Amino acid sequence: MTLLAEINTDDEIAECVYKPIAGERPLWDFPDGTLAGREVATYLVSAATGWQVVPPTVLRDGPFGPGMVQLWMDGDPTVDLLDLARSDRPALRRMAVLDVVVNNADRKGGHLIPMPDGHVYGVDHGVCFSTDPKLRTLLWRWAGRPLNEEAVEMLELLSNELYGDLGAALEEHLTLTEVRKTRTRVATLLRTGIHPEPSGEWPALPWPPI
């Protein structure tokens, strides 16, 4: 269940997305933890990259109990999301790298939020961090191509973080094996130096694409 909600502090009001854990449908391939926890874990990885792919996301209490709360980003509704997904914007290339790291099983067009300044946010990360290869995305444009310098630098940083505070924070939301596999995916990216191609073990494209 996904709700549009409002958060109020003394001096600010903001719109947000609220997905209560109580409204989650159980998924056979994501038996552990919660989808909300996976959303927060993806935010934590994004925050560690400094790339701001994922809008600020926390786990907190709400009217239907604890859930994930994510800041609403006012995207440009006139952008064609399938055209956008095929474009070579730097923000999408970064998102493609992040999606490999978190093993995103659902990067469809509707999960792209294009901002007026050219940035693109990614949302809906409930089905990330499987221990099986499940990357399903529209962002295959760079597959087989070398990672660029900023990606390699970021991955080196992320690799350290995953053995430190970030790893510890992820363990609050994911299983130990899922955190270990995340380290392995980063190590593999650094070793091969390329954007991976579809594994062949899993549908590579989301359906429907939007």
Q: Which is nearer to ligand ATP, 29 or 201 (CB)?
A: 29
Q: In the complex, what is the shortest distance from the CB of residue 143 to ligand ATP, in angstroms, rounded to a whole number?
A: 24
Q: Does 55 help bind ligand ATP (rule: CB under 6 A)?
A: yes
Closest CA to 108 of 134, 81, 74, 129: 81
Of residues 143-182, those binding ligand ATP (CB under 6 A): none
Q: Which does 152 bind (CB under 5 to 8 A by kind): ligand ATP, Mg ion, none?
A: none
C-beta atoms surrounding 33 within 10 Å: 16
Tell me which amino acid residue 115 is.
M
Using the rule CB under 6 A, give the single segment among 67-75, 94-102, 145-153, 186-194 that binds ligand ATP: 67-75
Contact status: 17 vs ligand ATP (CB under 6 A) = yes
Residue whose CB is less far from ligand ATP, 135 or 179: 135
Kindly identify the residues of this chain, within the stretch 92-121, that bind ligand ATP according to CB under 6 A. Answer: 110-111, 113
CB-nearest residue to Mg ion: 124
d(CA 25, CA 194) in angstroms, rounded, equals 35
- Contact partner, 66, from ligand ATP, Mg ion, none, Cβ < 5-8 Å per class: none
Edge-first strand listing for the sheet containing 67-71: 3-8, 13-20, 67-71, 57-60
Name the residue type at position 170: L
Binding ligand ATP (rule: CB under 6 A), the pick from 41, 45, 48, 73 is 73
Q: Give the C-alpha separation, 185 to 84, whole Å.
A: 26
Distance CA 69, CA 87 (A): 29
- With respect to ligand ATP, which residue has the nearer C-beta, 99 or 124? 124
Q: Give the integer Cα–Cα distance in Å for 23 and 132.
A: 25
What is the crossing angle of helices 176-192 and 90-102, to 10°? 130
Say whether residue 56 binds ligand ATP (CB under 6 A). no
- Where does this chain bind ligand ATP (CB under 6 A)? 2, 17, 55, 70-73, 75, 110-111, 113, 123-124
